[in-house]
Every structure is written in C-alpha cells, then in structure tokens.
Amino acid sequence: MKYTVATVVSVLLGALLICGESIRTLHTEGSQAALAASLSALKIRQLATLYWECQDQSADNPYQRDPGECAVIGRAMQRRVNEMPAP
C-alpha cells in the first residue's frame, strides 16, 4: 500500500513540475515575442543602442540587460544589419 501511495505522489509531483515548467516556457516565449515585435518598430539607431548595451564593456561592468533579451536584440540586429540610418 505504501508503494502505491508513493507512486501516486511521485506521478503527481512530476506532473506538477512539468506543468509549471511548460507555463514558464510559454511566458518566456510570449515575452520574447513581444520584445521582438517592439524591436521591429524601432529605428536602427535605437536598436544599435540597445545592442551595444548588451555588449560586455569590461569585467567591472557586467551586462546591463537580461541575456534572453540580448539574444532577441542580437537576432533583430542581424536581420537589420544592412539597414542604413536615416540622416
């Protein structure tokens, strides 16, 4: 009987863990999609400023942004790298 209870508890905890991680993943993907949409509306100079904020300037000055945000900004910059800034 105790093995049955332990098995049921283990399965329930596993299901809870999987559900929690999937919800967190959906939230992260949604926020990255929203960030990508807002980046596409920026001018190239504004995007370049955000890109350089993501670059590590020195050991004393760590990244100013979240690494996930920096990855999205980097991909946006790669897509628009040939765009010329407006005068």
Pairwise CA distance, residues 74 & 4, whole Å: 50
pLDDT for res 38: 85
34 located within any domain: yes
9 located within any domain: yes
Residue 61: pLDDT band (50, 70, 90) is low
Residue 10: pLDDT band (50, 70, 90) is very high
- Taking a C-beta distance cutoff of 8 angstroms, is the pair 47, 76 a contact? yes
pLDDT for res 64: 65
Mean pLDDT of 42-52: 86
pTM: 0.58
Question: Could you tell me the residue range of the domain that residue 52 belongs to?
Answer: 2-79
24 located within any domain: yes
Pairwise CA distance, residues 82 & 59, whole Å: 31
pLDDT for res 51: 87
What's the domain count of the chain?
Answer: 1
